[in-house]
Amino acid sequence: MTITRTAIVTGAARGIGAAVAKRLAADGFAVAVADLDEAAGKPVVEEIENAGGRALAVGVDVGDEPAVRAAVERIAGELGEPTVLVNNAGIIRDNLLFKMTADDWDAVMNVHLRGSFLMARAVQGYMVKAGWGRIVNLSSTSALGNRGQANYAAAKAGLQGFTKTLAIELGKFGVTVNAVAPGFIETDMTAATAERIGVSFEQLKKDTVARIPVARTGLPADIAHAVAFFVSEGAGFVSGQVLYVAGGPTV
């Protein structure tokens, strides 16, 4: 008998998260499409269901502890006990250090770091019980440093330390924990970056491609493919790793 495993993908209403949710559904997972706005996730759920998969839209603020607990309990009851978690939810509040407010700093940390911590803590019990689990955290090449992103870079670097620590703690329970660190991916978030620096999105993509060895920008599907590997049965001996998906080497 084939066991259908349940996956939670946060920030799954659009962009990378939506691509990951659809890819995992195609791979046979029941998928909780979690996002701040539950209604925003319903088109992704409909697309998954129309393709023959199972999915559930769930509204949750990943930085809100009671909300996270309630969302995970709902998912376990309605879709199945989750044994895969993809921490993708994220925001940007870019600015140079002297212009960055404490609220901008806190908002980014709250979603990326606190959110990933709360979600991982809420699901790990189901994974330990099952003796099998996969956690994938979305980091970024910005973890290596990026002008105007002190908050985002610090959060994404923090997720790498979080990943390695959870890999050590949870490995003996059959749970692997890895991170995917995207480079330039065509999403609403990178479009917002173009607006912030005062250039068109097309110009930003053109300028970026000139520095990428494979001579193209990344797509959400590129990241979904990497996540699919990490959550696969065959990746059970891969844990605590950070995979840069950036079209070339990172420095």
pLDDT at 1: 46
Domain ranges of the chain: 6-183+220-243, 186-217
Does the structure show a pLDDT above 90 at 79? yes
> What is the pTM assigned to this prediction?
0.97
Q: What is the spatial distance between Cα 173 and Cα 124, in angstroms, rounded to a whole number? A: 10
Q: Which residues are catalytic?
A: 152
| pLDDT recorded at residue 194 | 85
DSSP secondary structure string, 119-169? HHHHHHHHHHHHT-EEEEEE--GGGG--TTBHHHHHHHHHHHHHHHHHHHH
Mean of the per-residue pLDDT values of the chain: 96
DSSP 34-88: EESSHHHHHHHHHHHHHTT--EEEEE--TT-HHHHHHHHHHHHHHT--EEEEEE-
Average pLDDT on 1-17 reads 91
Its CATH architecture, for the domain 6-183+220-243, is 3-Layer(aba) Sandwich (3.40)
Confidence at 222, pLDDT banded by 50, 70, 90:
very high
